[in-house]
Structure 1
Amino acid sequence: MKSFILIPDSFKGTMSSTEICGIMAEAIKAHIPDACVRGIPVADGGEGTVEAFLAAVGGERRECSVTGPRFEKVSSFYGVLSDGRTAVVEMSAAAGLPLMEGRLDVLGGTTFGVGELILEAVRGGAKQVIIGLGGSATNDGGCGAAAALGVVFRDGEGRSFIPTGGTLSSVASVQSCGLARELKDVRITAMCDIDNPLYGERGAAYVFAPQKGASRETVPLLDAGLRHLHDTVKRCLGADRAQDRGAGAAGGMGYGLAALLGAELKMGIDVVLDAVGFDELLRGADCVFTGEGKIDSQSLGGKVVIGVSRRAKKFGVPVIAVVGDVGDDIGGAYDEGVSAVFPINRVAVPYSEARLRARGDLRLTVEDVVRLIKAVEERRSDIRSLS
């Protein structure tokens, strides 16, 4: 084996995907110096998504000023990939929790700046916009972003306004005829790794709003607002996207992008694989290394390891998953294309200690795997020479 693709998820709270790629590459090169190694960092749609894409395929980061989650101006950015036609936007760069500076306001927070980022990217020449939906501080159903792009929301008195989580129930009508002309023929794709619907017990408000400062009393109000928004949008525009997989992502941003802007909601790893041309890379690969902090039954829903393995399986390329920990019931991973799973924990210690030695343990584990690969290859070569 000479050609390796490295495409791990981050080990949350321990190592970034970029860092893991570097460690894996060093471990492989230590034993196969002439190996061709391609590292593809993966981000989950939150902070670091732009940098991960730029590291994987090249491009540039562009700075700009947009409206923050509290309607104040903030410094922000987006990425333009090497093709010059694809832009990557982190919604957290305009409506993320860090921008609240510790003063959470899920009732009054807006995604208006996310729409401004999209418009900046499109005016800069982008024909496809990839939006990461992680780390949001808002619960406005994506109305702020839509308003920035020309969608008009009116209250019962016919006055236009920008809805927030606390005012969604005031939306009496929605008009999309004023949508920015620059968006024509632009494809919008949202990275979404959850399957929650817009509202209800598994919806945006009940599941995620408490993390954004919502009280027990506030959550039902936010949920009612999202329900009302859906009913109004369905009546005015005919869009029925509340139950879509991921509609409840990022305070209903998934719903807003789909229902108001016609975006496609896709699993984050599939967006990454398409953007880097993963299928084509597989044609010349001998082996894929992937991984995540812990592989368990939840991983089978289609996160990084499984998403990578499903693609590789089509091309018959073996996949080695190097993980921080292994949970129960992972048998299905092998059916999806995972060839083998190797945990990096080399001694039985608590997580608080294991995370401190994770980098060294990762390298040693990958080196062990490569040693095995090399030994098998050498044995095969010996057998061929004797025959």
Structure 2
Amino acid sequence: MLVILAPDSFKESIDAADAAAAMAAGVRDAVPDAEVRELPVSDGGEGFTESVAVALGARTLEVPVRDALGREATGQVAVAGRRAVLEVASAVGLGMIASDERDVMGADSTGVGELIRAALDEGADEIVVGLGGSATNDAGAGMLRVLGARFLDASGAEIGTTPRELAHLAEIDVSGLDPRMAGVEVQAACDVSNPLLGESGASAVFGPQKGATPELVTELDAILARVAEVAGHDGDGGAAHEPGAGAAGGLGYALIGFLGARMRPGVELVVETVGLEEAVAGADLVLTGEGSVDAQTLSGKTPAGVAAVAARAGVPCVVLAGRVADDAAVLLDHGVTALVPIVPGVTDLPTALAEGGANLRRAASTVTRIFAAGRSGSASF
């Protein structure tokens, strides 16, 4: 029996690679001689770099960066030949900042620019950026400043790139943008289609989880609108309106509008890179999952992407998750065979997160036993 294991991370519990390993252990607990292939997947957020690096056999560089609040941190860039892969979450991730320290008005994306600069220093001519999980809402200004752009106020003085400082923006000078970017193909892996501005934009939809009050959401949206207006990207057909421009606090907008990036669904890009289609073609069962699944999982999240691949190959796909919302049942109409919560009983969240690996292993074992029994026609397991 061949089982393909293609989970995303279970946020705040275990990363995608560890999730795949836990699933593998569970499968072997049930069927010791089962053949398993671990293909951790990501939709662009945490674990994206690792997922792609494993598939490409890339080397991973540790890069000194500034986190969203300007503190020293370490990010990662995976390099394979002249292709570099990085994720926003490893430099300016929300998970890097304690909830009581979050300051969206004082955060910027400097660290992402430092990762891109490191990729350029490695000679990359293709850069893949995983968007998601950022603590920033600066329209990518911090990233652009590291790459040579200058942000000026009405007096012509250079200003910083946090939203608090961008409130005084009057001009963006891109004449000093790193010339190496001209020869680079940029792809952005993104699991959302939000534009930069408005009710479905970066500030309104993602700002609250970064600490923005309703009043701050309005202020942040106005600041991002100012950036797009000064850059000339606010008109019909401008970068501010592109699907995914609102990803990662507007980093999607900056990548599209200033660096000519092509936006792609993150899970689609990773599925292609790891060769999931080929792996699933000869499989008997596919297991995927992440921390929480609901109806929104259909909008580019990993379990939906993996299930679509499995469905095309006619292979059953089971989703394992820490939380399965009632409306997640819609996934059963889109290639998912079953939805299985991994928490075995009533427990508190800290305990569930701490025991994520063990719970995932147990659930994978149970699913495999049932599947194997069904194949053999046996009623005892």
Matched, 1:21 2:20: yes
User: Which residue pairs with 1:315 in the alignment?
Assistant: 313
Residue in 2 that maps onto 1:385: none
* Correspondence for 2:263: 265
Q: Are 1:301 and 2:294 an aligned pair?
A: no
| Whole-angstrom CA distance in 1 between matches of 2:55 and 2:336 | 22
> Take 2:15 and 2:96, find their aligned partners in 1: how far apart are those partners?
22
CA contact (8 A) 1:166 1:221 kept: no
1:362 to 360, 363, 376: 360
Look up the SS of the partner of 2:186 in the other structure: strand
**CA drift at 1:233:** 2.0
2:16/2:47 contact within 8 Å kept: no
Shift of 1:240: 0.9
The answer to whether the 8 A contact 2:48-2:87 is kept is: yes
Kindly provide the amino acid, as one letter, of the partner of residue 373 in structure 1: F
* Mapped pair 1:140 → 2:133: no
Deviation at 1:118, TM superposition (A): 0.4
Alpha-carbon distance in 2 for matches of 1:155, 1:118: 26
Q: What's 1:383 paired with?
A: none
1:217 and 1:368, CA in 2 relative to 1: closer, same or farther beyond 3 A? Answer: closer
Give distance in 1, aligned partners of 2:296 and 2:95: 28
Distance 1:357 1:106 in 2: 31
Aligned to 2:60: 61
1:286-324: per-residue Cα shift (whole Å, max 9, x none)?
Answer: 321112233322222231111111122223232122233
1:320-350 CA-partner distances (Å, limit 9, x unpaired):
2223343223443233211233333444556
CA drift at 1:34:
3.7
| Letter of the structure 1 residue corresponding to residue 88 of structure 2 | M
CA RMSD of aligned residues (A): 3.2
CA apart distance, 1:212: 3.6
Give the direction of change, closer, same or farther, for the CA distance of 1:220–1:178 in structure 2 (3 Å limit): same
Q: For residue 239 of structure 2, what is the aligned residue in structure 1? A: 241
Letter in 2 for 1:227: A
3-state SS in 1 of match to 2:127: strand
Is 1:225 aligned to 2:223, yes or no? yes
1:5 is aligned to 2:8: no
Deviates more, 1:90-99 or 1:117-126: 90-99
Deviation, 1:162, is 4.5
Name the amino acid aligned to 1:276: V
Taking a change above 3 Å as real, the CA distance of residues 229 and 323 of structure 1, as seen in their structure-2 partners, is: same
The TM-score normalised by the length of structure 2 is: 0.84
Residue 342 (structure 1) aligns with: 340
Quote the residue 1:80 is aligned against.
78
Amino acid of the structure 2 residue aligned with 1:240: G
Distance 2:207 2:329 in 1: 34
Unaligned runs of 5+ in 1: 381-387
Structure 2 Cα separation of the partners of residues 355 and 230 of structure 1: 40
TM-superposed CA distance for 1:227, in Å, is 0.9
Which has the larger displacement, 41-50 or 220-229? 41-50
Identity within the alignment, %: 38
Larger RCO, structure (CA 8 Å, separation 6 or more) = 2
Supply the distance in 1 between the matched residues of 2:235 and 2:328 (Cα, whole angstroms). Answer: 43
C-alpha change, 1:235 and 1:251, in structure 2 (3 Å) is: closer
Partners of 1:67 and 1:350 in 2: how far apart? Answer: 34
Alignment partner, residue 108 of structure 2: 110
Q: CA separation in 2, counterparts of 1:364 and 1:91?
A: 32
- Asked whether the equivalents of residues 133 and 248 of structure 2 are also in contact (C-alpha less than 8 Å), the reply is yes
Q: What is the total number of aligned residue pairs between the two structures?
A: 377
- Residues 60 and 213 of structure 1, relative CA distance in 2, 3 Å threshold: same
Larger Rg: 1
Separation (CA, whole Å) in 2 of partners of 1:129 and 1:204: 23
CA apart distance, 1:210: 4.0
Say whether the 8 Å CA contact 2:196–2:250 is kept in structure 1.
Answer: yes
TM-score of the two chains, using structure 1 as the length reference = 0.83
Shift in alpha-carbon separation, 1:378–1:219, aligned structure 2, 3 A: closer
Distance 1:336 1:148, change over 3 A: same
Do the aligned partners of residues 103 and 337 (structure 1) sit closer, same or farther apart at CA in structure 2, a change above 3 Å counting?
closer
Give the Cα separation in 2 of the matches to 1:311 and 1:213: 37
Distance 1:287 1:51 in 2: 24
Ranges in structure 2 where 5+ consecutive residues have no aligned partner: none
Paired AA for residue 378 in structure 1: S
